[in-house]
Structure 1
Amino acid sequence: MNFFKTLVAGAATFVAAHTATFAPANADTVQEIVNRGVLNVAVQTQGPPFSFVDKHGERTGFAVEVVKLIAQDMGVEIEFQDYEWKGLIPSLLAEKVDFIAADMTPTPQRALQLVFTEPFYYSDVVAYVAGGSEAATWQDLNTEGVKIGVPQASSHVKFVRDNMPNATVVELSGGSPAVAQALSVGRVNAGVTSREIATQFTTEFEGVRVLDGTIVQSPLSFPVRPTDTHLESWLNNWFRIKKADRTIERMLDYWVHTDAWEVDHK
């Protein structure tokens, strides 16, 4: 009996001494943001209407202005960190930022590493070509020898491979603007991006036009780290409130559904 008591006492001492070692971390990113007084957000300067630098030299766009409102409701300052598209997810996983504010699709592959908020918008993914192209619809691009440019590491890579398997995918660093530039100099025959961004390219690059048809509809969300359940919940709650009071609707009308933003920013 004495041996048994000694064994139990020893086990209790071991557990007490090592509880801190084996206990899971309980860090709350929301509280950390509030305590430091700064919200760190990863963005990409991909061009209007989601994230760009306007004529005043200020970063703006739909995603950027959403984050500014989020920071305001948190009562903190905001710091944007600009990355190439392929650097967005690594920056989040390395804890350099609190979340990513970009028009990112919550694909099953990305969801293996990240947790996504509820979609705040569904965007049409389309193809666009230069003036010399004879293509009328995106299906016309599904031909051997046709080179379709897409941002490196974007969900558009899969969209093209799944829906236009006969074409060749060309991944380009620098986001959608780099693809449009490659199209303008003949490096690729077409580009694929959201309808909103493609429409902007028709005004920035002579002869560029959007082909008929929607390749896919892509939900857009903000990702956080899998352990940041409070932050995920807070953001989802924020989006629900701002949809209910029509804030998101008004912002989409200004930035995405119309060209109203051009007077103030272009």
Structure 2
Amino acid sequence: MKFLKKIALSIGMLAGVAALSAATANTASAGAMEDILKRGELRVAVQTQGAPVSFINKDGKQTGLAVELARMMGEDLGVKVVFQDYDWKGLIPALLAGKVDMIAADMTPTPQRAAQLLFSRPMFYEETVAVVKNDSPLAKWEDLNQEGLNIGSTQASSYSEAIKKFMPKATLKEFTGGTAAVAQALSAGRIDATVSDLGNVTNFVNEFGNLKILDGIIVKNPLAFAVRPDEVHLKLWLDNYVELITSDKRLDQMVNYWWNTTDWEKDHK
């Protein structure tokens, strides 16, 4: 009988711990959104080195698809949006350290990243392509999978992973400074090719004038915003918001302006 009582007591204690843990988790997940509303401020990490997603325009203003999406979120939520600029490799550490509330960037929710963060439902899907100099004899992206070629990419990006996966015979060269630094290296002949999303590629092909896009799409990647793993309420709010701006066509309008066309260039470059 005493033995049964001990078992019952142990089960009761475990149930109490579980309930307390669940309550703590719920409090933590609710706290992120509550903090934003109390501050009246949404802190957003961006990387303003990659037009048209996030960059500094001709007037010295932060803008781009991710930036303007975050601004629209703030307006609809009734809070001020404060942007903090980081190098690509610094985005996730800044979020995990609590310096910002979310990452607004062209970030793919890879298994490695999703193990650290919570991602919103995809904002849209990017097409990853390859670029070379105009005088290159290569015609399609599959031609890059050969020894002796140096292919550049943004450090710690999904593009680096695509190069490792689809072009294992080539040599990967990673750069800090975003896609702009990689494009400059390619234009100057310091690398043989680069891999990036079609939006960024279209921008720097037009800018440099001596680059061309190889035939074929390497992969299509979902792009999403990210929050800390305990910010369940904020993640669900983001999912709901993406659904809202998809249904009222505002997301389509922004993607068409910033991503599917070069209309933004005349206004911001």
For normalisation by structure 1, the TM-score amounts to 0.90
Match of 2:163 in 1: 160
SS of 2:106's partner is coil
Contact 2:25 2:230 in 1 (8 A): no
Q: Counterparts of 2:198 and 2:49 in 1: how far apart (Å)?
A: 14
Q: Which residue of 2 aligns with 1:246?
A: 249
Q: Deviations over 1:189-246 (max 9, x none)?
A: 0011001111111111121111110010011000111110000010110110000000
Alpha-carbon shift at residue 252 of structure 1 (Å): 1.0
Measured after TM superposition, the shift of residue 104 of structure 1 is 0.2
1:38 paired with 2:47, answer: no
Alpha-carbon shift at residue 261 of structure 1 (Å): 1.2
Counterparts in 2 of 1:219-238, with a 5 A limit?
A: 219-238=222-241
Aligned to 2:127: 124
Q: Which aligned pairs between 1:1-266 and structure 2 lie closer than 5 A?
A: 26-27=27-28, 28-266=31-269
- Distance in 2 between residues matched to 1:136 and 1:24, nearest whole Å: 53
Give the Cα–Cα distance (whole angstroms) in 1 for the partners of residues 154 and 161 of structure 2. 11
**In 2, Cα distance between equivalents of 1:211 and 1:79:** 38
Q: CA deviation at 1:24?
A: 5.1
Kindly indicate whether the alpha-carbon contact (under 8 Å) linking 2:50 and 2:200 is maintained by their aligned counterparts in 1.
yes
Change (3 A) 1:116 1:186: same
Return the alpha-carbon distance in structure 2 between the equivalents of residues 76 and 115 of structure 1: 22
Which residue identity lines up with residue 206 of structure 1 in the other structure? G
Contact kept? 2:154, 2:174, Cα under 8 Å = yes
> Matches of 1:250 and 1:25 in 2, distance apart?
36
> Structure 2 CA distance, aligned partners of 1:217 and 1:23?
38
Percent identical among aligned pairs is 49
Q: How far 1:132 moved relative to its partner?
A: 2.3
**Amino acid aligned to 1:218:** N
Evaluate the alpha carbon distance shift between residue 170 and residue 231 of structure 1 in structure 2; reply closer, same or farther with a 3 A threshold: same
In the alignment, the residues of structure 2 paired with residue 107 and residue 57 of structure 1 have an alpha-carbon distance, to the nearest angstrom, of 32
> C-alpha deviations, 1:73-132, integer Å up to 9, x for none?
111111111111111011110010000000000001111101111111110000101122
Q: Which amino acid aligns with 2:223?
A: L
Separation (CA, whole Å) in 1 of partners of 2:24 and 2:82 = 32
Q: Which is helix-richer, 1 or 2?
A: 2
**Which amino acid in the other structure matches residue 110 of structure 1?**
R
RMSD, aligned α-carbons: 2.1
Structure 1 unaligned runs (5+)? none
CA distance in 2 between partners of 1:191 and 1:245 (Å): 36
Q: How many residues align?
A: 254
Shift of the alpha carbon at 1:23? 5.0
Which contiguous aligned blocks of 4+ residues in structure 1 show a shift greater than 6 angstroms? Answer: none
Structure 2, unpaired ranges of 5+ = none
Q: Does the CA contact (< 8 Å) of 2:146 and 2:170 recur in 1?
A: yes
Partners of 2:148 and 2:24 in 1: CA distance: 57
C-alpha displacement of 1:180: 0.5
Question: Under a length normalisation based on structure 2, what TM-score does the superposition of the two structures give?
Answer: 0.89
Residues 164-191 of structure 1: CA deviation (Å, up to 9, x unaligned): 1111111111111110111122221001
